[in-house]
Structure 1
Amino acid sequence: MSEIDLSSVRYSLLAVAAGIDGVLALLEQQSEWWEGSFGAFCLLGLVKAQLERVVKEELPAS
């Protein structure tokens, strides 16, 4: 991949991570009255952490 492609991929993954933040906030609010949302919150939090690790270690900013 060229440098331009890698920066596009990095930008896209960071945008996905930002979107996940919004979903996590909604799940946190829902957890007050829906017990199942806590499990989804934890799972999605792990996915986001893994995504951020890949961006940091595999696609570092130039």
Structure 2
Amino acid sequence: MSEIDLSTARYSIETVAAGMDGVLVLLEQHSEQSEACFSAFCLLGLVKAQLESVLADELPAS
């Protein structure tokens, strides 16, 4: 990948991870009343952790 592609990929992943934060907050608020929300909260939290791992390990900041 070229440097431009890595920069674009990093920005895209950071944007998705930031958007997940809002969804995680909503799911956490509703997880006490809904098992489905709790399951979604856990799954999305794992996905976000994986994205952050990719950012830290494979897409270093320029």
Listed as ranges, the gaps of 5+ residues in structure 2 are none
Deviations along 1:3-43, one digit per CA (max 9) or x if unpaired, are 11100100000000001111100101111321221111011
**Aligned-CA RMSD value:** 0.9
Please give the alpha-carbon distance, in whole angstroms, between the structure 2 residues aligned to 1:7 and 1:56.
13
Listed as ranges, the gaps of 5+ residues in structure 1 are none
TM (normalized to structure 2)?
0.92
Please give the alpha-carbon distance, in whole angstroms, between the structure 2 residues aligned to 1:45 and 1:33.
18
Once the two structures are aligned, what percentage of the paired residues are identical?
Answer: 73
Aligned length: 62
**What is the match of residue 24 of structure 1?**
24
**What is the match of residue 46 of structure 1?**
46
Please give the alpha-carbon distance, in whole angstroms, between the structure 1 residues aligned to 2:11 and 2:59.
10
Moved over 6 A (4+): none
TM (normalized to structure 1)?
0.92
Please give the alpha-carbon distance, in whole angstroms, between the structure 2 residues aligned to 1:49 and 1:25.
15
Q: Which amino acid aligns with 1:36?
A: A
